[in-house]
């Protein structure tokens, strides 16, 4: 309950997460049927990067701040356009003051038939999220522990959807909880696309987390990781990863294009790297760089 995302909004981890989320939404929208995006740890939805909290860390400057000013090749620009266009829409006068959290980004990318379910447990953050979407019939905002949503809110009535699980990782067992949460959710909604975020930092049990996911009876899981600096002498976040369950068949190739560009523009030292690989499924890797 202590975690507040305003201190980290727009950082390199958000860039990876939101760029991939936008690709997942656009892929699912290729079919006419409605989709539901379920965001289990939604935050406040929209972040003012000029606020005292955001300015205190300034993390966004090394994240979305760099990316918005980067010269991107045509293929990468096309892949990132849905994500970056939403940020430009929020900042019509130029610059970057407002940054969309996952629920706001998803809502901005929706068609009329698409729907959002967003969960937030922190009382203040829930109140702000509820105000942001007040009167919006495409969004259902619930004050709830997001872990419970993986049971109670699945499957969605649309039968097509993306489940974003982005916990704060305040507790040591969050990696284990994430694997168990996926197992429970997948039993209820095996046809859904799941996007699980996790932090990379010194001492994190990444190998054990990946092994726990591989042990699940889930046919296809694609993993993407972006590290922006060495963990030598570091105790904080040095990178982040995403596990995508039931990924679009196009996503691996899209990551092959996006990850090198994100690494080049967001690197904080010469040890920055990226990788994309199958935890379960096709067993074809994108090489580390």
Which residues does the annotation mark as catalytic?
A: 166
- List alpha helices for 9-95, DSSP H: 12-28, 52-57, 64-69, 74-90
Nearest Cα to Cα of residue 42 among 154, 169, 150, 129: 129
- C-alpha 96/C-alpha 105 separation (Å) is 15
In whole angstroms, how far apart are CA 228 and each of 11, 53, 73, 123, 274?
A: 11, 22, 20, 33, 9
Angle, to 10 degrees, between the axis of helix 12-28 and the axis of helix 74-90?
100
Contact 254, 23 (CB under 8 A): yes
- C-alpha 282/C-alpha 155 separation (Å) is 26
102 is in an annotated binding site: yes
166 is in an annotated binding site: yes
145 is in an annotated binding site: yes
221-227 and 46-48 strand pairing: unpaired
Contact 204, 169 (CB under 8 A): no
- C-alpha 172/C-alpha 24 separation (Å) is 29
Contact 127, 103 (CB under 8 A): no
State whether residue 176 is helix, strand or coil.
helix
Binding-site positions read 18, 41, 102, 120, 145-146, 166
Binding-site positions for S-adenosyl-L-methionine read 18, 41, 102, 120, 145-146, 166
């Amino acid at each position: 309950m202590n975690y507040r995302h305003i201190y980290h909004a727009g950082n390199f981890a958000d860039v990876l997460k939101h760029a991939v989320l936008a690709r997942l939404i656009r892929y699912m929208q290729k079919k006419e049927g409605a989709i539901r995006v379920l965001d289990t740890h939604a935050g406040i939805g929209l972040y003012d990067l000029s606020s005292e909290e955001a300015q205190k860390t300034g993390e966004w400057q090394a994240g979305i701040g760099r990316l918005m000013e980067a010269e991107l090749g045509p293929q990468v620009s096309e892949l990132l356009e849905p994500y970056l266009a939403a940020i430009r829409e929020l900042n019509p006068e130029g610059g970057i003051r407002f940054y969309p959290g996952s629920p706001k980004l998803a809502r901005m990318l929706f068609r009329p038939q698409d729907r959002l379910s967003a969960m937030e447990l922190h009382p203040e953050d829930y109140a702000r999220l509820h105000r942001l979407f007040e009167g919006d019939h495409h969004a259902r905002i619930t004050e709830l522990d997001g872990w419970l949503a993986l049971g109670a809110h699945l499957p969605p009535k649309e039968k097509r959807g993306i489940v974003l699980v982005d916990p704060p990782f305040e507790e040591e067992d969050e990696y284990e909880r994430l694997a168990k949460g996926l197992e429970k959710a997948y039993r209820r909604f095996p046809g859904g696309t799941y996007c699980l975020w996790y932090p990379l930092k010194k001492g994190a049990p990444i190998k054990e987390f990946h092994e726990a996911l591989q042990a699940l009876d889930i046919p296809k899981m694609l993993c993407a990781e972006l590290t922006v600096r060495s963990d030598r002498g570091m105790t904080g976040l040095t990178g982040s990863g995403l596990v995508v369950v039931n990924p679009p068949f196009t996503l691996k190739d899209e990551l092959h294009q996006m990850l090198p560009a994100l690494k080049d523009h967001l690197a904080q030292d010469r040890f920055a790297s990226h990788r994309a690989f199958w935890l379960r499924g096709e067993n074809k890797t994108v090489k580390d760089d």
